[in-house]
Every structure is written in C-alpha cells, then in structure tokens.
A and B are shown apart, each in its own frame.
Chain A
Amino acid sequence: GAVVSQHPSWVICKSGTSVKIECRSLDFQATTMFWYRQFPKQSLMLMATSNEGSKATYEQGVEKDKFLINHASLTLSTLTVTSAHPEDSSFYICSAGPGTLYEQYFGPGTRLTVT
C-alpha cells in the first residue's frame, strides 16, 4: 500500500498554545485526506475530510475554528489545534485516499499531550 507520514509523532504543548500536525502522502497524490481522533482504548472517530484546494468538511460536533485543516497540495494536509486545552489531548491519525477499492492509507498517528 501507499505510504503516509505524520509529523510530529508526539508533541507536548502548554494549554492555550497552538500546535500543527502534518500529514504527507509520500508516494501517491491524495485527492482526499481524512483526520481521525482516537482516545485511549477507544475507536477512531472521523473529525473532518479535506479535499485538495477546498475547505474541509467537519463532522458534527467538531469545532472547525478549533481544529483548522488545510489541504494545500495533493501530498500535504495539516491539522492545527488552536488554543489547545488538556481535553484536546488525544491521538490524531490522518489517512489519505482513495486507494484501490476505496482503501484509505493511514499515517502512524500523532500523540498530542496538552499540559
């Protein structure tokens, strides 16, 4: 399958600051990228879908002003958590697609800890 990278793999930030997470598709052009959130011992929840060059579509209950998503190119999407608070601490996973039979290729995830 295709390779998707995320950077950083782990970030610690202070409450009130913003943090940016990058998602890159390394060997294919991703027309669509997805951002998921996973709390400890829980499942993945879709946060938003971004298409290259257009505004992201957010799932119900996700604050779009808090989680800013930019998909500026076919290989890069960024998620910025603005004014982070401890409750934003979570594991954020991006995926890129569509692949064969609509498979999504997942990045390794980013652990965000807000102190």
Chain B
Amino acid sequence: AQTVTQSQPEMSVQEAETVTLSCTYDTSESDYYLFWYKQPPSRQMILVIRQEAYKQQNATENRFSVNFQKAAKSFSLKISDSQLGDAAMYFCAGGRGGADGLTFGKGTHLIIQP
C-alpha cells in the first residue's frame, strides 16, 4: 500500500517570503514518482513540480524547488519569493507511473498575506 501524508492543513506566508510545505510518503516500490500539484479556486489541477524517487538530485522549477530526502521518504516543496497568485491548495502525490493512478495527500491550504 502507498500512503502520502501532508501534516500541515494550512500555511500562511507574507508576500515575497519563502515557505516550505511538508510531505512524507511510504511505499515499497523502487520506481516511484512524486508530484506537487496546485489546485486554485477554479479546481483545475496544475502540476508544480515532479521528482523521480530513484534520483537524489532535487528538482527545481523557477521559484519552486523540492527537498527530497530519500531515506526519510520526505518530499517537501519550497516556494521562494511567494506571490499572491501562489495562494491555493497544494497536494503532494505519488505513484508508480504508467497505468497506475496517483495517491494524494490531504492537501495544504497556502495563504499569501499581502
């Protein structure tokens, strides 16, 4: 069984500052893929960043980066220079890829204070 855990129901950060969202996962699979998705009020799921669990190098996409700790099965998302448009629900998800669906965490509601 695969589990994905997000322990922060809500996070608040001042505009332009940095915030880190936590995620841990548990799987016995060696080939595993991890994702952070953003869900704004429109409810459209938007891919923020992805990481192959067999790679140690942390993924980076502009202001978004991950801190992937394979031994600890931790996959946190760091958002630098937070912007008002970053306000949304953020879901951590994992899966074996291919024909397997994703397992999602419960989500973190990110609030950006102007």
From B13-21, B41-49, B67-75, the one touching the partner chain is B41-49
* In the complex, residue of chain A having the shortest beta-carbon distance to the beta carbon of B93: A44
Q: Would you call A102 and B43 a contact (CB within 8 A)? A: no
Q: Which residues of the other chain, A, contact B45 by a CB distance below 8 angstroms?
A: 44, 93, 95, 106
For A98, give the chain B residue with the smallest CB separation. Answer: B98
B98–A109 CB distance below 8 A: no
Tell me if B44 and A103 are in contact (CB < 8 A).
no
The answer to whether the Cβ of B35 comes within 8 Å of any Cβ in the partner chain is yes
Q: Is the CB of B50 within 8 A of A49?
A: no
Give chain A's interface residues, CB within 8 Å of chain B. 1, 31-32, 34, 36, 38, 42-46, 49, 51, 59, 91, 93, 95, 98, 101-104, 106, 108-109
> Is the beta-carbon distance between A109 and B101 smaller than 8 angstroms?
no
**Quick check: A32 and B102 within 8 Å, CB to CB?**
no
Residue of A whose beta carbon sits closest to that of B109: A41
Q: B91 contacts which chain A residues (CB < 8 A)?
A: 43-44
Given A101-B33, A103-B47, A108-B44, the answer on whether A49 and B101 have CB atoms closer than 8 Å is yes
Counting residue pairs across A and B whose Cβ atoms lie within 8 Å, the total is 58
Q: Which residue of A lies closest to B95 (CB)?
A: A102
A91 touches B97 (CB 8 A): no
Question: Are B106 and A104 neighbours in the complex by a CB distance under 8 Å?
Answer: no
> Within the assembled complex, what's the spacing in Å between the Cα atoms of A44 and B104?
6
B88 to chain A, nearest CB (A): 13
B52 to chain A, nearest CB (A): 7
Partner of B47, one of A1, A42, A108: A1
Q: Is the CB of A102 within 8 A of B104?
A: no
Query: Does B100 count as interface, using CB distance less than 8 angstroms?
Result: yes
Residues A103 and B99 in contact in the complex (CB < 8 Å), given A42-B106, A43-B91, A91-B43: no
Q: Which of B42, B101, B107 has the most CB of A within 10 A?
A: B101
A102 cross-chain contacts in B, Cβ below 8 A: 33, 95, 97-98
